Amino acid sequence: MKTRCKQILATVLALAGFTVSGPPNAQPTPSAVACAVKPTVVLVHGAWAGTSSWSGETERLQQEGYKVRAFANPLRGLTSDAAGLAAFLKTIDGPIVLVGHSYGGSVITNAAAGNPNVEQLVYVDAAAPAVGETTGQLSGKTSALGGPADTLYDQVSLPGAPSGDVLLYLKQPVFLQSFGPDLPKPAATALWAGQRPAAMSAFTTPSKAAAWKTIPSRYVIGTADKIITPDSQQSMAQRANAKILRVPGGSHLTLISHPEAVTDQILAAAHATCPDT
């Protein structure tokens, strides 16, 4: 527990702009498999988060010798966000392990379709929609996002957006109690203050692809996730035939509260791209 708290503190310091030399008490761990050509790991954040949410994972992956890219997800709508990621992926040579958190799971599900370089998908407390499904439909029956919108979000107009579309900011109680309740309160409060809003259309646009049907996948499920329920994630993981890692007590921000477990699953996907070495 002490080590995990130090890791969380290191991540929050990084989010605040401080330089962190490495995860506290962490030592570089040699890769279990030596790949002749290591894949590039592309990390895609979800709503109300940002690229720095992946600080813990990025640090260790780089220590392991992997090239890491954290995609700045626009959060303005599934179709345009996926198109932006697809274009970004085309700039990367060689094999790719594509990782998505939360709504980022929907984005990778669409962006990876038709790209032969994407060899593994990793979903972290994420949505993995089938064609025609929306991200909002996949939160689960008991999701904290199932309440009235005015109790969940501060809504801000989005200039130039289609009529009715707005930017959604999570209200502070929802963020602290449901989004990241396994983080220390000061850390969660800092993350709430710096959240990136998502357009409503990000959650209401039907998916046009389901890359998990043809690309091998892995799943990280935080067992205490109140945003996308563990049951919903389990169902999506099973239909994708994904290899599942359950993180006891992990919230929707397992990528910050348990970066070591999330990184283990990403590394397993990376190793799977070179099984014969």
Residue in the block written with tokens 């992956």: 61
Specify the pLDDT at position 276: 57
Which of the residues in the chain have pLDDT under 70? Answer: 1-35, 275-277
Cα–Cα distance for residue pair 230/228, rounded to 1 Å? 7
* Residue 7, phi then psi, degrees to nearest 5: -65, -40
pTM for this structure?
Answer: 0.87
Specify the pLDDT at position 34: 56
* Residue 270, phi then psi, degrees to nearest 5: -65, -40
Helix (H) or strand (E) holding 259, with range, is helix 259-272
Strand partners, 166: 157
- For 35-82, the pLDDT digits (tens) are 678 999 999 999 999 999 999 999 999 999 999 999 999 999 999 999
Amino acid at site 274: C
Burial class (CB in 10 A: 0-12, 13-18, 19+), 82: buried
Q: Which of 183, 170, 175, 168 is nearest to 254 (CA)?
A: 183
Residue in the block written with tokens 């790209």: 115
- Distance between first and last Cα of the chain: 36
Specify the pLDDT at position 274: 82
What the block records as the tokens of 57 is 């994972």
- For 223-239, the pLDDT digits (tens) are 999 999 999 999 999 99
